[in-house]
Structure 1
Amino acid sequence: MTLKFLLPFMAATFLYSGLISAAPPKPTASPSKPAVPKVVQPKWKVFTPPDKSFQILMPGRPKTKTQVQKTYMGEIKLQLFVAQPPAQEVAYLVTYNEFPYSYAKMTSPQKILNQAQSNTLKATQSNLISERNIRSSNGHPGKEIQYVDSAGKVTTNRMYVAEGRLYQVMAIVSKKQRSTLAKTMTGYLNSFQLVVRR
């Protein structure tokens, strides 16, 4: 059995079907003088979801979305948190889904991470730039992958398996702003902290 209908595919569907657009807003022109888009620097704040399972720095309060997807394992609920600073070609996301108890117990974290990587690359029709195994700050297994899609958007995705969930922390940026926002994106990814649920 594969995980083809799980989080990577669903997240990719959200990302590439219009919820996430890495294009800056178009300036409105005034008849008297040309408009110059104003770059507003976002105020970064610690965000914690209602279930308090993680915390992360986000540029403002993220938009949230929940979707239930039917799979061979039963219904899987996807939670998605998205922040897009104005006038920047970047999106910051955290997603997670909970696996059925039996599946989480029987499947190794590495298998889940490898399948998530494979599904994500297929669903987004992207080319892998790099991959490496990582761990969360409190020791949960993870994987970081970086990939580029056909439009040139570059995604850095850190995935973690913890307590029956697959978490994905992503920064998606245009090729044009990749170098400019590199430090900001790294700071965002490094700020992610999993919280052990009781």
Structure 2
Amino acid sequence: MRRLATSVIVLFALVAQAAFASPVSQKTILVYGDSLSAAYGLEIQQGWVSLLQEKLDQTKSDWKVVNLSISGETTAGGLSRLPAALKEHRPELMLLQLGANDGMRGTPLTSVSNNLEQMIQQAQTEDVDVLLFEMMIPPNYGPVYTRKFTRIFHDLGKEYTVSVVPFFLDGVAGHPKLNQPDGIHPVAKAQPMIFNNVWPHIKTAME
């Protein structure tokens, strides 16, 4: 009887310990982009960022996704918001997907580069790993501008030892059936393709 009572007490203690144990803290992926990551024109759950969270949930990962992407966002706007975003969410990994709107507006390349550079610096100062998304734009401003624009991302990647995700709309951009009538924003059925383009790079960055 005494042995049974002792066993009950031990069992109760273990249950109580489990009940009051601190939950496993989740690591945060901050998605910091524009309409291409904000599910523009779609239900939010259809976007590639939501597919990323679904993948993490399926694999019982200890990572969560915070999506602060805003339609129409520029590198200047992203730079102004970043300090507060880093302070509030304290991410371990940031997916930096900005620059397309700058390029389509013909923003001076030095401004685009400087803004991206400062965002990378701010993140690294807070010990946040960065995945920099290579962006491409239509050749509206001539081959010299478009070529130098894309070069920005690779130059910054080398300078700050940041991994660069190749153009994540590869296989989607330029295909009318995979884009909305504006010819810029992908439709729902293209989102899994976009996710498949970025997932290997994100998975590696999480390791």
Higher strand share: 1
How does the TM-score come out when normalised to structure 2? Answer: 0.29
| Higher Cα Rg, which structure | 2
